Amino acid sequence: MRATHYKSTFIKLLLASLFAFFIIRCVMFLKSITYYKHYHKFYPEENELYCHFLPVFDTLPSVKGVFQDDQSESDGLIRNLMSYSNIKLQYLNMKKFVQGTPVEKLWAEEQIYESKYLLWHISDILSIPYLVGVTSRGIWSLIRANHSGNEGQNEILTGSRENGILTLWKYGGIYMDLDVLVMKNLDTLSKNFAGAEEPESLANGVMGFSSNGIGHQYVNSCVYDLVEHFNGDAWAANGPHIITKFASKLCNGSVKDFFDTSCEDFHIYPIDAFYAIPYPAWQRFYDSSQLASVKEKTKNSFLIHVWNKLSADKKIPINDDVPYLDFARKYCPGTVRNLKEYF
């Protein structure tokens, strides 16, 4: 009985920690999604973007009662985000989100709670700290995207660092990590794709699958592989390894032999599409002497990936001319205008 009580208390504390973790990360998210301003130029106002949070919002889409406007920098970023008429707030219930899905087993058998990277692996699998959808059909088009039959309408899902695989399994669309800044219209991307981070390895920081047909079959394969081989001891085992293994099997060869080509309606984008600046060189984004070379290196990129896991504590004075801030000034002026001292 005592063990059951302790277990129940632990789970309650865990969920409370998750709520706090996701809310803190939501504030970080407001800086990370600086691509909104640029994205807004390509899509008319009837295309709505949904920002999904855990169920801590009592009033939607208003943030009243949750974030008090005290003129702080974070509140300014929130005001900037909410100034767009096509951005709505929505929430997801974690328990309901996994019900009826292949990953429900990880919760039912409590494998997820044995992970060494518990908070991160939960967000890896669910991608629920922050999801963004682009749709012309309103909220139910997002929730029921797999029934819409509109193959030409992508959704954009931005989430945690590692894995949006379950979200893509449920809805289809495009998943992106939060620590990106988009520079090109993503509507030209293939329906089913991932990008190489290294010559022999794909990453799951940007990927897409259609909501039905062959795309759903592909992501279904990845989800079941994740459940069967879930590894709570390794940080990246539940993301990049799975998508690389899937692509290698599908293409019957090394992924490096299929850069910028498609096999079985799955496109593999080359390294410079999403990861032109590799993570060992992340500091180049914060070095003013690297501005010209970074621009040259990313001239063919859809976006830049700034490796937030390594750079999260990096502060940029608002008058600096480092590459990251230079890109933000160009593509995200609304965000930059709300900064006070640092980016």
pLDDT digits (tens, 9 = 90+) for 279-294: 999 999 999 999 999 9
Among residues 132, 74, 64, 83, the alpha carbon closest in space to that of 339 is found at 74
pLDDT score recorded for residue 56: 38
Separation of CA 188 from chain center? 19
Tell me whether residue 227 is in a domain. yes
Domain count, the chain: 1
pLDDT score recorded for residue 123: 58
Domain region containing 227: 2-337
> pTM (2 decimals)?
0.74
What are the CA-CA distances from residue 38 to residues 34, 65, 120 (Å)?
A: 8, 29, 29
pLDDT score recorded for residue 272: 97
Tell me whether residue 177 is in a domain. yes
Tell me whether residue 257 is in a domain. yes
Tell me whether residue 45 is in a domain. yes
pLDDT score recorded for residue 161: 38
pLDDT digits (tens, 9 = 90+) for 177-219: 878 898 998 888 999 999 999 999 999 889 999 989 999 999 9
Q: Which two tokens stand for residue 212?
A: 């039905």
pLDDT score recorded for residue 305: 94
Tell me whether residue 46 is in a domain. yes
pLDDT score recorded for residue 343: 86
The DSSP bridge partners found for residue 52 are 90
pLDDT score recorded for residue 235: 58
Q: Which two tokens stand for residue 93?
A: 């219930």
pLDDT score recorded for residue 138: 25
Please list, in sequence order, all residues whose beta carbon lies within 8 angstroms of the beta carbon of residue 19, skipping any fewer than 6 positions away: 54, 56
Tell me whether residue 90 is in a domain. yes
pLDDT score recorded for residue 158: 47
Tell me whether residue 271 is in a domain. yes
Which residue ranges of the chain lie beneath pLDDT 70? 1-78, 80-82, 84-93, 116-164, 233-238
Following DSSP, what letter does each residue of 55-66 receive, concatenated? Answer: TT-SSSS--TTT
Q: Helices marked H in 164-239 — which ranges?
A: 165-171, 213-228
pLDDT score recorded for residue 104: 86
Tell me whether residue 342 is in a domain. no
Distance CA 46, CA 20 (A): 32
pLDDT score recorded for residue 257: 93
